């Protein structure tokens, strides 16, 4: 279905409705928001709209629908799949000015926030109220609640609290015809059939615009314990995780699997990092446990569990951070893997998932097969073991110019990795979504039942196809994938 450019009349009406702070068609103002975070896709838009409330959003969408003009919602623009990058002629709708925290209720244990609230601002507000919003990721100083909901973001605490979908209790949204969906409830139980809230979560802005949400909070963290362990091989990791859960319960929040090649890369490229253990090991894990204040003997429980793991041969050596600075230093080894990779050269990246119990086998076998198929290619596979989420990155052969290798092999590497993960019953997108960058591969792999259902939902809610076209739902009328 063809979409139109906004008419001069529509642009004039929008400028009047939103005022100078809420409307610009100036190329300089638009420029920073037209390229995706990774710098891989450059878009264009007719205007940047920055409403301050849901009624302004509803007018924008209703008027855009009347002219069949595309609307592209954007939060912090940190999408890893170019999900918020508009194609020509669209209205780029930024939610960043809708950034009020409407309230935090200790009794209900919820926060009610507008879509443009930045994640780290919510963390601070929850902390000030003696609570905690239990989802975090490296883009927390830019990513917004609306974007996090729309991508069903994951992050480092999914093992314990689930992804964004599990934390959304209620939603307020503007649907593609401009109607306002009043779903901002604090209900823990609500069984009125199809769940529009869950449909909008993870919809990547293709079914409407999230304007506010009520979100689940948790008890504040009193004590956080971070440990780094060395294991003989990755097969020891899952029995170790399950043993820790048996001993300590759901206080285990993070279990990151780090292969020795990733640690070596970080130690080589990142200043002020050091190996926490004296000897070398086949594989490492970063473990984080968090306890509410007043939990008796939390540290002793972790120490005893790791001691037992050593006696059972699951762990060869371990180091437990004894203060916050040491905890940060241990996390730096994990969080700097991507940066170390970047400093080492370009790589073909994948954010995939497989069943948790299959993760060590998949990492080993897919690494072997990809390295055999692409002579000299070097795989780094690391990730969140508890979620089966693997960052499977393939670097160019040592000593070979990275960019030409990337250009020549990117598509073929993608295909091979996606085929391997599909054969393993996994997903080609664990947490980043489909956006533009994975659209073609999603269309190739998803299968007719999934694609038909997706298209039917899209058609039912957005029959004009104006909401974030060219993302997530492969349609015949989409522009070709970049
Ligand atoms: C350094 C870094 C680390 C990251 N780590 C993780 C990680 O660990 N786990 C993870 O899951 N992701 C991660 N991401 C990806 C990214 O942070 C998430 O996808 C985030 O949810 C996007 O939020 P945003 O506000 O920037 O949204 P944007 O990038 O602006 O938009 C993302 C998508 O949501 C849509 N959208 C935005 N706001 C709305 C709204 N109000 N209503 C409807 N649709 C909307 C957009 O159209 C787009 O499709 C990381 C990104 C970076 C840059």
pLDDT tens-digit readout, 355-372: 998 998 899 999 999 999
Phi, psi dihedrals of residue 211, rounded to the nearest 5°? -110, -25
- What CA–CA distance (Å, rounded) separates 349 from 121? 30
Q: pLDDT-derived band of residue 156, with 50, 70 and 90 as boundaries?
A: confident
What is the pairing mode between strands 45-49 and 90-94?
parallel
* CATH code for position 402: 3.30.70.2740
- DSSP 8-state code for residue 178: S
For residue 435, which atom of ligand 1 is closest to its CA? 49
User: Do the domain assignments include residue 107?
Assistant: yes
| pLDDT beyond 50 at 53 | yes
User: Do the domain assignments include residue 135?
Assistant: yes
Residues 461 and 399 in one domain: no
User: Do the domain assignments include residue 339?
Assistant: no
Would you state the pLDDT for residue 47? 97
Residues 159 and 20 in one domain: yes
What is the pairing mode between strands 131-132 and 389-395?
unpaired
Q: What is the pLDDT of residues 289-328, one digit of tens each?
A: 999 888 888 889 999 999 999 999 999 999 999 999 999 9
Residues 418 and 454 in one domain: no
**202 C-alpha to center of ligand 1: Å?**
10
Cβ of 468 closer than 6 Å to ligand 1, yes or no, is yes
CA-nearest residue, atom 18 of ligand 1: 79
% of the chain surpassing 90 pLDDT: 84
For residue 173, which atom of ligand 1 is closest to its CA? 42
Q: Which of 84, 135, 204 to mutate to test the pocket of ligand 1 (most atoms within 8 A of CB)?
A: 84
Would you state the pLDDT for residue 237? 94
Whose structure tokens read 């390295």? 371
Residues 326 and 272 in one domain: yes
Residues 77 and 147 in one domain: yes
User: Do the domain assignments include residue 429?
Assistant: no
Residue 388 structure tokens: 């089966």
Cβ of 134 closer than 6 Å to ligand 1, yes or no, is no
User: Do the domain assignments include residue 431?
Assistant: no
- What CA–CA distance (Å, rounded) separates 206 from 247? 43
Strands (E) in 71-157, as ranges, are 71-74, 90-94, 101-105, 110-114, 131-132
Interacting residues of 153 by C-beta distance below 8 A, sequence separation 6+: 135, 137, 143, 147, 163, 164, 431
- Give mean pLDDT, residues 390-416: 91
Phi, psi dihedrals of residue 392, rounded to the nearest 5°? -110, 100
Q: What is the pLDDT of residues 71-126, one digit of tens each?
A: 999 999 999 999 999 987 899 999 999 999 999 998 899 999 999 999 999 999 99
Contact of 65 with 181, CB cutoff 8 Å:
no
User: Do the domain assignments include residue 291?
Assistant: yes
Query: Sign of dihedral through CA atoms 449, 147, 82, 38?
Result: negative
Residue 199 structure tokens: 């449909």
Q: What is the pLDDT of residues 185-223, one digit of tens each?
A: 888 888 889 999 999 999 999 999 999 999 999 999 999
Would you state the pLDDT for residue 399? 84
Q: Nearest-5° angle of CA 236, CA 162, CA 104? A: 140
Would you state the pLDDT for residue 39? 86
- What CA–CA distance (Å, rounded) separates 461 from 179? 11
Gyration radius (Cα) of the chain, Å: 23
% of the chain surpassing 70 pLDDT: 98
Write the CA distances from 409 to 71, 345, 395, 454, integer angstroms.
34, 15, 10, 30
Q: Which residues of 315-336 are buried (b: 16+ CB within 10 A; e: fewer)?
A: bbbbbbbeeeeebebbbebbbb
Domain stops at, among 334, 365, 396 = 334
Residue 149 structure tokens: 């909901």
Residues 110 and 215 in one domain: yes
Q: What is the pLDDT of residues 420-470, one digit of tens each?
A: 999 999 999 999 999 999 999 999 999 999 999 999 999 999 999 999 999
Q: What is the pLDDT of residues 103-112, one digit of tens each?
A: 999 889 999 9
Residue 454 structure tokens: 């997706």
The packing angle between helices 54-67 and 8-22, to 10°, is 160
Domain stops at, among 400, 423, 446 = 423
Residues 398 and 448 in one domain: no
List the domain range (segments joined by +) for residue 251. 223-334
Cβ of 431 closer than 6 Å to ligand 1, yes or no, is yes
Would you state the pLDDT for residue 479? 52
For the chain, how long is the longest CA-to-CA vector?
A: 75
Would you state the pLDDT for residue 481? 47
* CATH code for position 50: 3.30.465.10
Residues 107 and 189 in one domain: yes
Residue 440 structure tokens: 């073609």
User: Do the domain assignments include residue 84?
Assistant: yes
Number of domains in the chain: 3
Contact of 196 with 108, CB cutoff 8 Å:
no
- Give mean pLDDT, residues 249-266: 93
Cβ of 202 closer than 6 Å to ligand 1, yes or no, is no
User: Do the domain assignments include residue 378?
Assistant: yes
**261 C-alpha to center of ligand 1: Å?**
29
Residue 101 structure tokens: 């925290």
Residues 401 and 463 in one domain: no
* Mean pLDDT value across the chain: 93
Q: pLDDT-derived band of residue 477, with 50, 70 and 90 as boundaries?
A: low
Strands (E) in 61-194, as ranges, are 71-74, 90-94, 101-105, 110-114, 131-132, 168-174, 180-183
- Give mean pLDDT, residues 28-41: 92
Residue 74 structure tokens: 């954007």
Residues 368 and 474 in one domain: no
- DSSP 8-state code for residue 202: T
- Give mean pLDDT, residues 393-420: 92
Phi, psi dihedrals of residue 104, rounded to the nearest 5°? -125, 120
Grouping H, G, I as helix, E, B as strand and the rest as coil, residue 249 is helix
Residues 214 and 229 in one domain: no
Contact of 181 with 171, CB cutoff 8 Å:
yes
**235 C-alpha to center of ligand 1: Å?**
32
- Give mean pLDDT, residues 386-402: 89
Cβ of 173 closer than 6 Å to ligand 1, yes or no, is no
Of 217, 189, 184, the closest CA to residue 107 belongs to 217
* CATH code for position 270: 3.30.70.2190
How much is the pTM?
Answer: 0.94
Residues 229 and 310 in one domain: yes
Domain stops at, among 292, 309, 334 = 334
Burial (Cβ within 10 Å: 0-12, 13-18, ≥19) of residue 203: buried
Cβ of 77 closer than 6 Å to ligand 1, yes or no, is yes
Query: Sign of dihedral through CA atoms 344, 346, 348, 351?
Result: positive
């Amino acid at each position: 279905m063809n979409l139109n450019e906004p008419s001069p009349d529509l642009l004039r009406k929008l400028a009047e409705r939103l005022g100078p702070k809420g409307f610009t068609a100036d190329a300089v103002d638009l420029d920073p928001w037209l390229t995706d975070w990774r710098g891989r896709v450059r878009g264009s838009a007719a205007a940047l709209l920055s409403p301050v409330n849901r009624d302004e959003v509803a007018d924008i969408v209703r008027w855009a629908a009347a002219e069949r003009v595309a609307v592209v919602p954007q939060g912090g623009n940190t999408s890893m799949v170019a999900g918020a990058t508009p194609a020509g002629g669209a209205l780029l709708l930024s939610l960043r000015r809708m950034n009020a925290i409407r309230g935090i209720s200790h009794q209900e244990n919820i926060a009610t926030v507008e879509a443009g609230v930045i994640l780290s601002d919510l963390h601070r507000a929850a902390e000030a109220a003696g609570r905690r919003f239990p989802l975090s990721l490296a883009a927390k100083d830019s990513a917004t609640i609306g974007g996090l909901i729309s991508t069903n973001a994951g992050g480092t605490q999914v093992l314990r609290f689930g992804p964004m979908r599990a934390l959304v209790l209620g939603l307020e949204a503007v649907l593609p015809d401009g109607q306002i969906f009043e779903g901002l409830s604090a209900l823990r139980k609500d069984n009125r059939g199809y769940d529009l809230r869950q449909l909008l979560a993870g919809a990547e802005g293709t079914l409407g615009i999230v304007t506010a949400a009520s979100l689940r909070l948790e008890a504040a963290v009193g004590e956080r314990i971070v440990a780094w362990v060395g294991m003989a091989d990755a097969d020891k990791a899952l029995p170790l995780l399950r043993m820790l859960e048996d001993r300590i319960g759901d206080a285990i929040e993070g279990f990151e699997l780090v292969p020795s090649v990733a640690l070596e890369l970080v130690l080589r490229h990142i200043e002020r990092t050091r190996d926490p253990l004296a000897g070398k090991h086949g594989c490492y894990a970063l473990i984080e446990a968090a306890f509410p204040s007043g939990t008796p003997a939390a540290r002793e429980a972790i120490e005893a569990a790791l001691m037992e793991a050593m006696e059972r041969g699951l762990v060869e050596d371990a180091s437990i951070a004894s203060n916050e600075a040491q905890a940060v230093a241990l996390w730096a080894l994990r969080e700097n893997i991507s940066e170390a990779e970047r400093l080492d050269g370009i790589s073909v990246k994948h954010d995939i998932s497989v069943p948790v119990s299959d993760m060590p086998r998949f990492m080993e076998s897919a690494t072997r097969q990809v390295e055999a198929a692409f002579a000299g290619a070097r795989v780094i596979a690391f990730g969140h073991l508890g979620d089966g989420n693997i960052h499977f990155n393939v670097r160019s052969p040592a000593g070979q110019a990275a960019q030409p290798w990337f250009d020549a092999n990117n598509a073929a590497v993608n295909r091979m990795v996606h085929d391997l993960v599909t054969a393993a019953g996994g997903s080609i997108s664990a947490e980043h979504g489909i956006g533009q960058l994975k659209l073609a591969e999603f269309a190739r792999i998803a299968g007719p039942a999934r694609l038909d259902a997706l298209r039917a939902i899209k058609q039912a809610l957005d029959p004009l196809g104006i909401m974030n076209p060219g993302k997530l739902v492969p349609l015949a009328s989409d522009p070709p994938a970049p």
